[in-house]
Each structure stands twice: as C-alpha cells, then as structure tokens.
Amino acid sequence: DAGVIQSPRHEVTEMGQEVTLRCKPISGHNSLFWYRQTMMRGLELLIYFNNNVPIDDSGMPEDRFSAKMPNASFSTLKIQPSEPRDSAVYFCASSSGTRNEKLFFGSGTQLSVL
Amino acid sequence: SQQGEEDPQALSIQEGENATMNCSYKTSINNLQWYRQNSGRGLVHLILIRSNEREKHSGRLRVTLDTSKKSSSLLITASRAADTASYFCVPGIINTGTASKLTFGTGTRLQVTL
C-alpha cells in the first residue's frame, strides 16, 4: 500500500484565495483525521471522520475552514478565504479497525499564505 | 484536556545513553500510543499499549503504563543520532462514540549527540 497520500506537498497562495488540500487514506481504513501544525500551537486536531461521517469538528478554527469526505477514499480540507495566519503544515492521518487504533500519517501539505 | 502532557520538553543525551520520556494524562483511557516526528516530516507510530497492560517492548523501545497514576513512560535504550526527533504520547480516550478523538501534546524534543 502507498500509505496516506496528501496533495499538494507545498502550496503558496495569496491572502483571500481559496485553498483546497486533499487526502487519500489507506484503503480499508475507516477513520480519517486532519491536523494542523505550527511552531506556536503545536499539532492541533481540526476534524475527524468515521465511516465518512464527521464526528468532531470542534477544532476547526472558524467558518473559513470546511472539510468533506465524499467517499471512503478521499477527503478535502478547504480554506476560503485564506489568511496569513493559516500558514502551517496540514497533516492527514487514517486508522483502521476499532476505536483508538494507530494513526498512519501522510507527509503533510506545507501551506504558505502571503 | 484529552491530550497527553510530555515531560521533559527537551532532552539532550549522548549516543549510547538511554533516554526516558514521561507522559501524563487526565481521563480514563482504552490505550496510549507513542509517536515520533523527525524534523519537518510526518509522524510515525512507535507503539501502542492497552489499558490492561503494564509494560510493552518493541526493539529498543520500552513503554510502561500506570493507569492508577495516569502516566506512561517511553524508554529508548542505546540511543542513536537517528533517534533525534520529537516524541508524543496520545491517550486513547474512552467514549461511547464510534471513533475516538486523538489529540497531541507539545511533545519531548530529543537530541542525541555523537
């Protein structure tokens, strides 16, 4: 298996633009997590899904952020409009089986909003 | 808070020495996981210990869990320069939902020098 695949690896955009981050979880995994990492705030859980259904989105910073999981093999995290403070590394992770199983992380998307 | 708190925040040792990192948490758990993050990269799962286990080994890693004290420790024996990374503990919180919220603390930054 290729592991969790995130795209793009790097994204540079201007303030006010829409940004879409993509994630393909490991086949057969039924839970998917989105995290954001910055030096100041560390690794924050934004939202997670189970069987394509959002379970907890309390970590989503504001209405500018939205996440979808239309099927078991694809998820998106969208920021509209983007702001410089959104600059961070965004990680997607997936897990399988029962609750609390180990997470497999993607390589992350480095987002820079100018 | 549902996340673990790692201690110390930073640790510097020489190659060949053992490194011990501690984790405390506040709620009842199903299990506890440890992850490693090399600088600028994604996180890698190291080991998972279940709430009914007291100790677990994996190669040079030894993890202990004391649920009465709500604490865990990660021991890396005979450290190598390649062990230089940040280490995170993630408590698997008991809940009645279909998937559990897995949150990360600030981690322990381990530096192994030659």
Q: How far is B42 from chain A (nearest CA, A)?
A: 5
Q: Three-state DSSP class for A85? A: helix
Q: Three-state DSSP class for B31? A: strand
Residue B40 has pLDDT above 80, yes or no: no
Interval A65-113: pLDDT, tens: 999 999 999 999 999 999 999 999 999 999 985 655 789 999 999 999 9
Pairwise CB contact (< 8 Å): A55 & B99: yes
| The pLDDT of residue B38 | 93
Contact list, B104 vs chain A (CB under 8 Å): 35, 42-43, 45
Q: Let me know: does A73 contact A25? Beta carbons within 8 Å.
A: yes
Residue B1 has pLDDT above 80, yes or no: no
Neighbour count for residue B101 (Cβ, 10 Å)? 21
Residue A36 has pLDDT above 70, yes or no: yes
Q: Per-residue pLDDT averaged across B40-62, rounded? A: 94
| The pLDDT of residue A100 | 52
Angle, CA A56 vertex, CA A50 and CA A94 arms, to 5°: 40
Cβ-proximal residues to B69 (8 Å cutoff; 6+ apart), any chain: none
Interval B21-38: pLDDT, tens: 999 999 888 899 999 999
Contact list, A31 vs chain B (CB under 8 Å): 99
Higher pLDDT, A83 or B94: A83
User: Which amino acid belongs to residue B89?
Assistant: C
Strand arrangement, sheet containing B71-76: B5-7, B19-24, B71-76, B61-66, B55-58
